[in-house]
A and B are shown apart, each in its own frame.
Chain A
Amino acid sequence: SQQGEEDPQALSIQEGENATMNCSYKTSINNLQWYRQNSGRGLVHLILIRSNEREKHSGRLRVTLDTSKKSSSLLITASRAADTASYFCATAPYSGAGSYQLTFGKGTKLSVIP
Chain B
Amino acid sequence: NAGVTQTPKFRVLKTGQSMTLLCAQDMNHEYMYWYRQDPGMGLRLIHYSVGEGTTAKGEVPDGYNVSRLKKQNFLLGLESAAPSQTSVYFCASSTPGTAREKLFFGSGTQLSVL
Contact = CB atoms under 8 A, between A and B. Distances in A.
Interface of A: 1-2, 4, 30-31, 33, 35, 40-45, 48, 88, 90, 92, 98-107
Interface string B8-47: 0000000000000000000000010101000011111100
Most chain B beta-carbon neighbours within 10 Å: one of A31, A35, A101, A107 = A101
Contact of A42 (B31, B44, B107): B107
Interface stretch (B61-69, B70-78, B79-87, B95-103): B95-103
21 contacts: A2-B41, A2-B42, A31-B100, A35-B103, A40-B108, A41-B107, A42-B4, A42-B90, A43-B90, A45-B102, A45-B104, A88-B43, A101-B33, A101-B58, A102-B45, A102-B103, A103-B45, A104-B35, A104-B44, A106-B42, A107-B42
A52 to B, nearest CB: 14
Main secondary structure of the interface of B (DSSP, over half): strand
